[in-house]
Homo-oligomer: A and B are copies of this chain.
Amino acid sequence: MSDDDRGGLHRLVAARLDEVGQLYTGNRRRLIELLADAGPSTLPELLVAGDGLAQSSAYRNLTVLAEVGVVRRLVHGGDHARWELAEELTGHHHHLVCDLCGTVVDVELPMEVESLMDRAFDAAAAAAGFDVDHHNVDILGRCADCRVTGN
């Protein structure tokens, strides 16, 4: 994310919090910065990078940020959930997930692929009586690091 977008990011988060009477405190700003810098992160990762941030505050703040729609909780197989900035802030994307170390990296797919998937998903869901709201794609495999270390 460019430094240019960073200001807009903070302004949007502050506005969203304000709408529900919540403040954009230092802890919350730090979490947003960390997620903007590091992408999908676990709570322990955020605590290590967060310099003294209390665990309970981190969980509470991430929950609040998710409630106002600026953060999203991801759940894959590992012990800890992962948190990332919401798509409204990052754009629509999917995830590369390493089967070995659990790392999650964002990927964007070509627009034609997204629209073909949308059409296919709508059709498949309609046949089962579902109304589609959105879709998540996880691409699982081995990340560059784990390929090298032969994990």
Contacts and interface: CB of A to CB of B under 8 A. Distances in A.
Interface of A: 73, 75-77, 96, 98-99, 105, 107-110, 113, 116-117, 120-121, 124-125, 127-144, 147
Contact of A132 (B124, B127, B140, B144): B140
Task: Give this chain's copy count.
Answer: 2
Contacts of A134: 140-141
A99 B133 contact: yes
A86 to B, nearest CB: 15
A77 to B, nearest CB: 6
A96 B125 contact: yes
A21 to B, nearest CB: 26
A129 B113 contact: no
A35 to B, nearest CB: 19
A96 B121 CA distance: 9
